[in-house]
Amino acid sequence: MKLKGLITTTAVLAALASSCGGGGSAPQQDLDNELRQALSTYGVSELATLPMHSAEKVALGRALFFDKLLSGNRDMSCATCHDPREAGGDGLSLSVGVGGSGIGHARTLGDGKEFIPRNAPEIFERGGPEFTSMFWDSRVHEDEQGFLHTPAMGMLPQGLDSVLAAQAMFPVTSRAEMRGFVGDNDVLGDPNELAPLADNDFPGMWSSLMDRVMAVEEYRHMFAAAYPAVDEAEFGFQHAANAIAAFEGTGFSFRDTPFDNYLSGDDSAMTDTQKEGALLFYGAAGCARCHTGSALTDLQHYNFMVPALGPGKQDGIDPGFALTSHNDADRFSFRTPPLRNVELTGPWMHDGSFTDLRSAVKHMLDCQDSVHNYDPLTLKSDVRETLNMDQALMDEMLATISPAAAERRELTEAQIDQLMAFLHALTDPSAATEMPALLPASVPSGLPVD
């Protein structure tokens, strides 16, 4: 026993000597050891491999994603708000839907129209198994048994590949996003046949859209090529949605980031400052309590008292996750966003109320102080008019603030610099340069791609 103890002590002393003494790479090694330890504590490993899809299915999904044929007035495509030139969002605080003009961050509201109540999120990596919920309020989600919960409930068709595919069933049914309003004519001057349908007639909307799509010969060929085992008469919008999801999953995957390369074992992929920032993120700054796991989100919902912009979803306000959970305790809670490529995806938060990433991070560190010092002049003037910071609303928000959000995390400016450096390590340089190449030159309907 005595001898064994002695050996152990000697071994420990030797180990200590080698980690503290002399050798130039030792502190570096400590930083990496500490960080790799923290990452494993939070279950952060490489993102799972994406599901494979045939090239024909991805090509069909790409055409549909950029084709305005999917909107009632033939004026909006998915890409109007998820623009590859705007890192998969639209660069606006709140999206501009039907009736708007212009593209990307220069888009403006149509006459008499309101903003879409929420910020269009980036859609990076959504094709992976890490994502089991969609939307800021998770109203489309998959439970542990693999059952899909959506606003269409029993009307949702069978055969959807994933929660991402289920999500793609819905933008086309939203009047303000894509479907248009009763009495609207489309851009060619013809009546919009989707608009008169009742708001809960999901099957009616999906089949009318398929009639449109299948009237285009090139689409008939593309569907047949993507789904060789399905008869033409059996195609439903779920086949379109599955193809759109295949394209989104494949096209919007940009994971060649310093962080991902570090996760796959390359110690030199991140700078020391980025590693110090990561240690704060997975340590004292507490970020990884929520931005955890490989996708950097726990997919849970929190109320951070984010300043309220826009028309809201109910009685002029946005109750957030409470709309899905039907629990008042969840009022003003929103799903933790994933952070890959976050430096490219502003404005930030569920309503885009932060136009500067450092301010968004400071909000995370002390949301009550941040709200108190919020500067509306950072907003574009059209959306600024919709800011609601009335005391009554602030009191309501404070009543359900999440305990973890209410905590103050004090960091020095130098530490915030390190955190920012870590957030920059989440950027894939090709996300900015290669994404625009996702835009096709034309789409089967012949409608313009802009």
Residue numbers at the binding site for ligand HEC (CB under 6 A): 70, 76, 78, 80-82, 95, 97, 116, 118, 120-121, 123, 126, 134-137, 164, 167-168, 171-172, 177-178, 244, 285-287, 289-291, 302, 304, 306, 334, 336-337, 339, 342, 345, 348-350, 360-361, 364-365, 402, 404-405, 419
Structure tokens at 76: 């909006």
**How many CB atoms are closer than 10 A to CB 161?**
19
> Hey, what amino acid is at 198?
A
Question: How far apart are alpha carbons 96 and 94 in whole angstroms?
Answer: 7
Q: Which residue, 28 or 396, is less far from ligand HEC as judged by CB?
A: 396
Shortest CB 141 distance to ligand HEC, Å: 10
Shortest CB 134 distance to ligand HEC, Å: 4
> Exposed e or buried b for every residue in 285-321, given b needs 16+ CB within 10 A?
bbbbebbbbbbbbbbbbbbbbbbbbbebbeeebbbbb
Q: Which residue, 271 or 359, is less far from ligand HEC as judged by CB?
A: 359
What is the Cα Rg of the chain in Å? 24
Structure tokens at 320: 């957030």
Shortest CB 264 distance to ligand HEC, Å: 23
Taking alpha carbons only, the member of 271, 87, 99, 304 closest to residue 185 is 99
Shortest CB 347 distance to ligand HEC, Å: 8
Question: How far apart are alpha carbons 177 and 79 in whole angstroms?
Answer: 11
Q: Which residue, 238 or 345, is less far from ligand HEC as judged by CB?
A: 345
Q: Which residue, 136 or 262, is less far from ligand HEC as judged by CB?
A: 136
Question: How far apart are alpha carbons 121 and 123 in whole angstroms?
Answer: 6
Shortest CB 272 distance to ligand HEC, Å: 18
> Hey, what amino acid is at 21?
G
Structure tokens at 347: 């404005």
Structure tokens at 373: 């010092």
Q: Which residue, 263 or 365, is less far from ligand HEC as judged by CB?
A: 365
Q: Which residue, 103 or 225, is less far from ligand HEC as judged by CB?
A: 103
Question: How far apart are alpha carbons 269 and 386 in whole angstroms?
Answer: 43
Question: How far apart are alpha carbons 449 and 404 in whole angstroms?
Answer: 44
Shortest CB 397 distance to ligand HEC, Å: 10
Q: Which residue, 167 or 253, is less far from ligand HEC as judged by CB?
A: 167
Check the CA dihedral 223-225-226-227 and report its sign. Answer: positive
**Cβ–Cβ < 8 Å for 336, 300:** yes
**Cβ–Cβ < 8 Å for 160, 148:** yes
- Residues found in the chain: 450
Shortest CB 69 distance to ligand HEC, Å: 11
Q: Which residue, 71 or 261, is less far from ligand HEC as judged by CB?
A: 71
Shortest CB 240 distance to ligand HEC, Å: 9
Q: Which residue, 28 or 417, is less far from ligand HEC as judged by CB?
A: 417
Shortest CB 401 distance to ligand HEC, Å: 10
